[in-house]
Structure 1
Amino acid sequence: MPTPTAPLILFDDDHYMYVLKDQAFAEAWWELPEEFTHGFDALARPLSMTGEPHGIHLFLTGEAPNEAELRRLVATHYDRHLRNQTPPQASALAEFVAALPREGG
């Protein structure tokens, strides 16, 4: 299976979104695998997480993108956590992902 395309967009069990610069950073940064609910790479391909606390691994679960689900989860994050802000409105996926706020520079 190919490597996920950076950045990675991960969601926790509180519907909070984290946009992490690449797979290595995400795997080092994410602490508890049980808090992970959804994840996507920059091409909107779904991710899964395995491992133990402070020792996780992310991998693609398929080649087919799910852009509609990614956009829906981003909108949910903004509705719950960034109420005074509007999610990116770009129609192109690359522009949409580029406009998401990043964790850890």
Structure 2
Amino acid sequence: MTTPIGPVILFDDEFHMYVLTDQAFAEAWWEIPDEYTCGFDALARPLRMTGEPHQVHLELTGEEPNEAELRRMVASHYQRFLRRQVPPEATDLSEFVAALPREGM
């Protein structure tokens, strides 16, 4: 299987969204795999997280993108936590992902 393409978009167990530069940054930044719910790479391919606390690993679950689910999860995050803002409206996936707020920048 190939490597996830950054940025990676991760959602925790409370469905907060984190947009992290790439797989290596995400694996160093994320502390506990039990707090992970779901994630996607920049091509909207689903990710899974495995490992132990402070030693997490991200991997693709397949090559098939799920852009609709990524957009749904992002919209849900905005509705819950960023009520005064609207999610990116770009129809192109790469522009949509590029417009997401990133951690550590």
Which residue number corresponds to residue 14 of structure 1? 14
Letter in 1 for 2:86: T
Determine what percentage of the aligned residue pairs are the same residue. Answer: 73
Which residue number corresponds to residue 69 of structure 1? 69
CA RMSD, 1 decimal:
0.4
Question: Deviating runs (4+, > 6 A) in structure 1?
Answer: none
SS at structure 2 position matched to 1:89: coil
Unpaired runs of 5+ residues, structure 1, are none
Letter in 1 for 2:76: T
Alignment of 1:1-105 (within 5 A): 1-105=1-105
C-alpha deviation, 1:27, in angstroms? 0.1
Report the Cα distance in structure 2 between the residues aligned to 1:35 and 1:56, rounded to whole angstroms: 11
C-alpha deviation, 1:47, in angstroms? 0.2
C-alpha deviation, 1:11, in angstroms? 0.2
What is the count of residue pairs matched by the alignment? 105
Instruction: Give TM-score scaled by structure 1 length.
Output: 0.99
C-alpha deviation, 1:75, in angstroms? 0.4
C-alpha deviation, 1:97, in angstroms? 0.1
1:10-54 Cα deviation digits (max 9, x unpaired): 000111000000110000000110010010000000000000111
Letter in 2 for 1:43: L
1:43-97 Cα deviation digits (max 9, x unpaired): 0000000001110000000000000000000000000010000000000000000
Unpaired runs of 5+ residues, structure 2, are none
Report the Cα distance in structure 1 between the residues aligned to 2:12 and 2:69, rounded to whole angstroms: 15
Instruction: Give TM-score scaled by structure 2 length.
Output: 0.99
